[in-house]
């Protein structure tokens, strides 16, 4: 029953997380596009009122006319939309999912004894620390004298992010490391909204009401943080879907793959931001494509040694069935016995011969190629058993 409840909490948490995340990133992409596409106002009266740029658009059967003030309008309107709950709810639901999957079920998703034999409390504490310290370190960096030199700051931040990616992959399971890296960057993004961008906006509104000039430092800081958020977006979104792709996090050099794909994501964002400005250099896209194709080529499974053709796949099947029974069916069964599972994960049941044969390619991929299964190697499969599955699959993956 507990497994069943967890499953529902997971589904609902993920559903909401996805919806609010789309609302947040969608709005943020829209405003970046808006900001970068503004034209000089046509009407002299608007310019007199302090309008710095405007844009016309058509959407959903209506015409929209957005105007951006250089600082603030002469009179503040009665209603002012803030766009902050999209970010906050994305973080809240994300932390809920992280806690539910990677902390509450740390022995399954976070700890990999072959990486480091952490106890559950230590693993969870390290996960939490990464997220909190990540924000503190980043915030300090931005506020230090480095923060005034955007290029130097970016270089230091890049090194910092690389160290975190590498470090997490030395202590957690691949997928746990990736997720915590993404959660740290996501937390930085939301904390930027909550602790820098929002206070700046509040000061702007307060200054307007009190008739004083707003402190320009808020604007400068907010701009810097939103630029960072822009470039974090694609790497974070990659991480959030990465757990489906064991070929990335399951690899020996998973930290390097994470860094390469993060850079690729940031470069793609650079391309689009420049495009809004009307600059059309394809260089960032080329960099991203080279990185992604380079990673794909580098982690491609090695060509297989010729298999012994005298071996008959069906003869190996008995052994394979034994491995499934001892290493897999505690989870992959109609009624799993492993705590936390109420149904076979991904609907993959490995009890009956025909099911094992049907899933042969997936079993091979998960057990031999990426070594993602058994998850966290909870059931302690041996290398000999992995080789047996390899041989069985390469000779045809048959039962008889």
The distance of closest approach from Cβ of residue 295 to ligand HEC in the complex, given in angstroms and rounded to an integer, is: 19
Label residue 345 exposed, middle or buried (CB < 10 Å: 0-12, 13-18, 19+): middle
d(CA 231, CA 384): 44
Using CB under 6 A, which of 244, 309, 318, 400 touches ligand HEC? Answer: 244
Residue whose CB is less far from ligand HEC, 290 or 362: 362
Binding of residue 52 to ligand HEC (CB under 6 A): no
Rg (CA), the chain: 26
Sole window of 59-67, 165-173, 203-211, 356-364 interacting with ligand HEC (rule: CB under 6 A):
356-364
User: Binding to ligand HEC (CB under 6 A): which residues in 94-153?
Assistant: 108
Using CB under 6 A, which of 124, 328, 333, 360 touches ligand HEC? Answer: 328
Sole window of 218-226, 229-237, 254-262, 371-379 interacting with ligand HEC (rule: CB under 6 A):
371-379
User: Binding to ligand HEC (CB under 6 A): which residues in 18-47?
Assistant: none
Residue whose CB is less far from ligand HEC, 219 or 345: 345
Q: Which two structure tokens, joined as six digits, stand for 92? A: 């809240």
d(CA 367, CA 391): 12
d(CA 135, CA 140): 8
Residue whose CB is less far from ligand HEC, 86 or 112: 112
Label residue 266 exposed, middle or buried (CB < 10 Å: 0-12, 13-18, 19+): buried
Label residue 255 exposed, middle or buried (CB < 10 Å: 0-12, 13-18, 19+): buried
Using CB under 6 A, which of 225, 381, 393, 397 touches ligand HEC? Answer: 381
The distance of closest approach from Cβ of residue 85 to ligand HEC in the complex, given in angstroms and rounded to an integer, is: 29
Q: In Å, what is the CA distance from 396 to each residue of 120, 262, 356, 363?
A: 40, 38, 13, 13
The distance of closest approach from Cβ of residue 246 to ligand HEC in the complex, given in angstroms and rounded to an integer, is: 7
d(CA 272, CA 327): 47
d(CA 296, CA 225): 32
The distance of closest approach from Cβ of residue 264 to ligand HEC in the complex, given in angstroms and rounded to an integer, is: 22
Binding of residue 359 to ligand HEC (CB under 6 A): yes
Q: Are 118 and 103 in contact (CB under 8 A)?
A: no
Whose tokens are 């994470």? That residue is 258
User: Binding to ligand HEC (CB under 6 A): which residues in 334-353?
Assistant: 338, 345-346, 348, 350
Per-residue mark of binding to ligand HEC, 182-221 (x: CB under 6 A): ----------------------------------------
Using CB under 6 A, which of 17, 221, 332, 371 touches ligand HEC? Answer: 332
Sole window of 48-56, 126-134, 195-203, 376-384 interacting with ligand HEC (rule: CB under 6 A):
376-384
Whose tokens are 């969608």? That residue is 26
Binding of residue 165 to ligand HEC (CB under 6 A): no
Binding of residue 331 to ligand HEC (CB under 6 A): yes
Q: Are 339 and 3 in contact (CB under 8 A)?
A: yes
| Torsion angle, alpha carbons of 217, 219, 220, 221, to 10 | 80
Q: Which two structure tokens, joined as six digits, stand for 75? A: 């009179």
Using CB under 6 A, which of 378, 390, 394, 398 touches ligand HEC? Answer: 378
Binding of residue 375 to ligand HEC (CB under 6 A): yes
The distance of closest approach from Cβ of residue 347 to ligand HEC in the complex, given in angstroms and rounded to an integer, is: 8
**What sign results for the dihedral spanned by CA atoms 287, 289, 290, 296?**
positive
d(CA 202, CA 204): 5
Residue whose CB is less far from ligand HEC, 221 or 251: 251
Positions in the binding site for ligand HEC (CB under 6 A): 108, 243-244, 327-328, 330-332, 338, 345-346, 348, 350, 359, 362-363, 366-367, 373-375, 378-379, 381
């Amino acid at each position: 029953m507990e497994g069943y409840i967890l499953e529902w909490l997971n589904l609902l948490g993920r559903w909401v997380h996805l919806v609010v995340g789309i609302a947040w990133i969608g709005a943020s992409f829209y405003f970046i596009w808006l900001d970068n596409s503004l034209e000089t106002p046509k009407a002299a009266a608007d310019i007199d009122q302090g309008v710095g740029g405007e844009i016309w658009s058509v959407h959903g059967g209506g015409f929209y006319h957005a105007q951006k003030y250089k600082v603030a309008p002469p009179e503040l309107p009665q209603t002012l939309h803030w766009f902050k709950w999209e970010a906050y709810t994305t973080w809240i639901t994300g932390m809920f999912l992280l806690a539910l999957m990677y902390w509450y079920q740390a022995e399954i998703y976070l700890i990999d004894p072959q990486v480091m034999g952490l106890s559950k409390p230590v693993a969870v504490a390290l996960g939490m620390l990464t997220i909190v310290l990540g924000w503190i370190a980043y915030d300090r960096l931005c506020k230090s004298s480095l923060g005034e030199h955007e290029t130097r700051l970016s270089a230091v931040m890049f090194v910092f992010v690389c160290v975190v990616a590498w470090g997490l992959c030395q202590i957690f399971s691949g997928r746990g490391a990736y997720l915590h890296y993404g959660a740290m960057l996501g937390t930085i993004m939301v904390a930027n909204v909550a602790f820098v961008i929002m206070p700046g906006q509040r000061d702007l509104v307060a200054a307007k009401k009190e008739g004083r000039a707003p402190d320009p430092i808020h604007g400068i800081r907010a701009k810097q943080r939103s630029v960072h958020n822009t470039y974090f977006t694609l790497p974070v979104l990659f991480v959030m879907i990465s757990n489906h792709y064991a070929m990335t996090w399951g690899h020996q050099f998973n930290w390097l793959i994470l860094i390469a794909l993060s850079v690729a994501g940031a470069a793609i964002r650079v391309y689009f931001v420049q495009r809004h400005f009307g600059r059309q250099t394809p260089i960032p896209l080329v960099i991203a494509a080279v990185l992604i194709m380079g990673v794909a080529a580098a982690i491609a499974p090695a060509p297989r040694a010729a298999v012994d053709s005298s071996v008959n796949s069906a003869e190996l099947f008995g052994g394979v069935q034994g491995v499934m029974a001892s290493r897999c069916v505690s989870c992959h069964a109609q009624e799993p016995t492993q705590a936390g599972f109420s149904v076979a994960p991904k609907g993959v049941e490995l009890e009956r011969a025909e099911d094992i044969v049907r899933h042969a390619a997936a079993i091979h991929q998960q057990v031999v190629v990426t070594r993602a299964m058994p998850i966290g190697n909870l059931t302690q499969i041996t290398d000999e058993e992995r080789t047996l599955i390899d041989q069985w699959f390469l000779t045809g993956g048959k039962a008889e």
